[in-house]
Amino acid sequence: MNSYQRLAVVLLALGIDLTLGDPPNRFHPVAWMGNLIQFARRHRPHNHPLSELAYGALVAVGGSLCTAGVGNLVQRLLHKLPAPAQIIGTAALLKTTFSVRGLDQAARQVQVALQVGDLITARRLLGWSLVSRDTSRLEESQVASAVIESVAENASDSLIAPLFYYMLGGLPLALVYRFANTADAMLGYHTPEFEWLGKIPARFDDLLNLLPSRMTGWLIVLASPLAGGKPRQAVQTMQREAGYTASPNAGYPMSAMAGALGVELEKTAHYRLGAGGRKPTSADIRRSRTILLAAAGIATALFSLLQYLRMKTKGQLIASPHHKFTRPLADCQEVVK
C-alpha cells in the first residue's frame, strides 16, 4: 500500500467514525482484546509479586505479539484485494482503533445534563463513560473538569496515537497500540490487587504514548483559537505543568487544554492544572469538544502534508538519473515502509 492509499485509509476511517460510530461489541476488535485480557486476569497468580510481574509482562508482550501477528495476517489478506476494496477494508479495521465520535458524544451528554441543572445524571454519565473515579459527590465544576480532562487525554489515546502508529507501521502497529492501551486500562491500577500485575502493561503503554501525547498537546495549542482559546497561555501552562500528573504523558494534553480554556482542572489529591484559572462550566465542555474536533482536522492535514512530501521526495529520488545511489536508496525506502 503506497502513501496515497494509506492517507486515503486514514481519511475514510475518520469519515466512518464520524458518521457511523462504533460497531456492536460482538464485531469490535477492542472488545475481543478486552475479553482476552479479562481471561488472562482470571487466571493470574496471586500473592507473589515476582510471579505477578512476570505474568503481567507476558500479557503485555505476548498479547501485543499476537495482535501484531493477526494484524499482519489481515493486512496481507487485504493486500490481495483490488485497491478500492483494500482501502475500504483497512479503513474499517483502522476505525476500530479510535473513537472521536464516541468521545465527543459522551462529553456532550454530560454537558447537556449540566446545562439543564441535572447534576445527578451528569455524575452518572461521567462515571459510566468517561472516568473511573468516584463521581457520586462531585460538584458541578468538578464534573465539568473531569469531562474536559477526559476529552484532552483521550484526544491522544483515542485518536492521535492510533493514527500515528498506523502512519508509522500500518494496521498491525495501530492494533498493537490499541491492545497495549486496553491492557493498561484494565490492569494498570495502583491497588493491592493490580500493583504488580499491571506494572509492565502500564509502563509499556506509557512508552507508546510518549510521542503521541506531546503531539496532542501541541495540536490542542494549534486548535485552541477555533474555540476562542489562548494558544500562548496553552503553551505556557503545558510547559510549566505537564509534569504535575502521575502519568508521564497525560499532563501534556490536559495542561494544554487547561491553558487554552483558561480554566483550572483539578482531580482532588492528585493534581491541579491551570491553577488560578476560573472553575470550568458546561460551556467549557463544549469548547473542549470543539478543540477535539479541530485537533483531529489539523492532525489529518499534517499527516496529509507529510505523506505528500514523502511521495514527492521519493518521486524525485527515483526520477533522478544523476546520482549513483538513487535506486538503492529508493529500494531501502520501500523496505522501511
Phi and psi of 79, rounded to 5°? -65, -15
**For range 90-115, the mean pLDDT:** 97
* Integer Cα distance of 112 and 7 in angstroms: 35
271 three-class SS: strand
Other C-beta atoms lying within 10 Å of the C-beta of residue 92: 16
324 three-class SS: coil
* Whether residue 305 has pLDDT greater than 50: yes
Average pLDDT, the chain: 91
β-strand partners of 271? 267
β-strand partners of 267? 271
**What pLDDT, in 10s, does the model give residues 210-250?**
999 999 999 999 999 999 999 999 999 999 999 999 999 99
Predicted structure pTM score: 0.89
* Whether residue 327 has pLDDT greater than 70: no
- By C-alpha distance, which of 58, 69, 45 is closest to 194? 45
Q: What is the pLDDT of residue 310?
A: 75
* Whether residue 98 has pLDDT greater than 60: yes
- Say which DSSP state 157 is in: I
Helix (H) or strand (E) holding 193, with range, is none
